[in-house]
């Protein structure tokens, strides 16, 4: 999968995308992440990319022309010449695991990072095919949001996350929060690892984990239980929690 990021701050992407599974997948060619400086598409010698809002108001807006030309240059280099153009903005659709799964189906994704007070509305209407927000808070620009999208989507590309780190049991892929996990020592400062995990009984361990997953989701994110795939036994267990 290939990500094409358009930004005014290319250096922001240097270290977050170096390290861990992303770096390994980039080195193997499984992932490509190209960072493009929007300023390279400005149309004057001063490399202007922003301007005052018509009608007045505070701050500056990103001009449409450098953004359109930057996206067009990227598209010209993509086989087939088309890919989703995702504008990162607090006004977008909320990023969820489902949204990341849909994006992971694409061969190419163009991510446009807004800055200043916003972008000219024609970018939203005629250039972006999608608009994504990573949460209900305002960042100074879309760069960190684009990195979050890359990380969430890249992990879903087959081969990026090795089988021992499998993404399949991740929270949200199962629709539930993860059960508690422990490593050695079995006793640390007087705190014991639950006995069942030391028992070697894999059937019982799986059942305990499922229940702890359900318990944690019930306590912290009960909204997730409405759409998570649940068995009859799961439902009975949740009922028993409700009766407590
Ligand atoms: N740009 C500024 N804030 C943002 C947010 N919450 N999500 C995505 N892009 C943003």
pLDDT at res. 172: 75
Model pTM score: 0.93
Cross-strand partners of 34: 4
Instruction: Kindly report, residue by residue over 59-77, the tens digit of the pLDDT.
Output: 999 999 999 999 999 999 9
CATH number at residue 79: 3.40.1280.10
**164 band by pLDDT with thresholds 50, 70 and 90:** low
- List % helix, strand, coil for the chain (3-state, nearest 5): 40, 15, 40
| 156 CA to centre of ligand 1 in angstroms | 22
Chosen domain end from 163, 198, 226: 163
Whether 73 and 193 map to the same domain: the answer is: no
Ligand 1 pocket test target in 141, 147, 148 with most atoms within 8 Å of CB: 141
Instruction: Kindly report, residue by residue over 114-142, the tens digit of the pLDDT.
Output: 987 899 999 999 999 999 999 999 999 99
User: C-alpha distances in angstroms, 84 versus 75, 132, 223?
Assistant: 10, 12, 30
Give kind and range of the element (H or E) at residue 97. Answer: helix 97-103
Whether 210 and 99 map to the same domain: the answer is: no
Whether 144 and 191 map to the same domain: the answer is: no
Q: Which two tokens stand for residue 215?
A: 């318990």
Whether 142 and 179 map to the same domain: the answer is: no
Ligand 1: residues with CB < 6 A are: 88-90, 114, 133-135, 137-139, 141-142, 145
Q: Round the average pLDDT of the chain to a whole number and report it.
A: 95
| Residues assigned a catalytic role | 90, 117, 155, 170
Burial class (CB in 10 A: 0-12, 13-18, 19+), 123: buried
Q: What average pLDDT score do residues 165-187 get?
A: 84
Whether 89 and 8 map to the same domain: the answer is: yes
Instruction: Kindly report, residue by residue over 75-92, the tens digit of the pLDDT.
Output: 999 999 999 999 999 999
Whether 146 and 37 map to the same domain: the answer is: yes
What range defines the domain where residue 209 resides? 169-242
Q: How many domains does the chain have?
A: 2
CATH number at residue 198: 1.10.1270.20
pLDDT at res. 162: 85
Instruction: Kindly report, residue by residue over 25-63, the tens digit of the pLDDT.
Output: 999 999 999 999 999 999 999 999 999 999 999 999 999
pLDDT at res. 169: 54
Whether 117 and 12 map to the same domain: the answer is: yes
């Amino acid at each position: 999968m290939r990500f094409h990021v358009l930004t005014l701050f290319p250096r922001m992407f240097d270290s977050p995308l170096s390290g861990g599974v992303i770096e390994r997948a980039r080195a193997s060619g499984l992932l490509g992440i190209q960072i493009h400086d929007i300023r390279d598409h400005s149309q004057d010698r001063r490399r202007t990319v922003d301007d005052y809002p018509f009608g007045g108001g505070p701050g500056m807006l990103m001009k449409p022309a450098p953004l359109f030309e930057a996206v067009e240059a990227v598209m010209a280099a993509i086989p087939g010449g088309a890919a989703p153009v995702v504008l990162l903005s607090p006004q977008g659709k909320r990023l969820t695991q489902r949204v990341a799964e849909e994006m992971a189906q694409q061969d190419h994704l163009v991510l446009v990072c807004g800055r200043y007070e916003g972008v000219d509305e024609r970018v939203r209407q005629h250039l972006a095919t999608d608009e994504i927000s990573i949460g209900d808070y305002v960042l100074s620009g879309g760069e960190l949001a684009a990195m979050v999208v890359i990380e969430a989507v890249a992990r879903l590309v087959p081969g990026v996350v090795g089988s021992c780190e499998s993404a399949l049991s991740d929270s949200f892929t199962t629709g539930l929060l993860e059960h508690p996990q422990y490593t050695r020592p079995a006793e640390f400062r007087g705190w014991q690892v639950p006995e069942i995990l030391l028992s070697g009984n894999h059937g019982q361990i799986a059942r305990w984990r499922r229940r702890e997953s359900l318990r944690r989701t019930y306590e912290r994110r009960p909204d997730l239980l409405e759409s998570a795939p649940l068995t009859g036994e799961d439902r009975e267990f949740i009922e028993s929690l409700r009766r407590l």
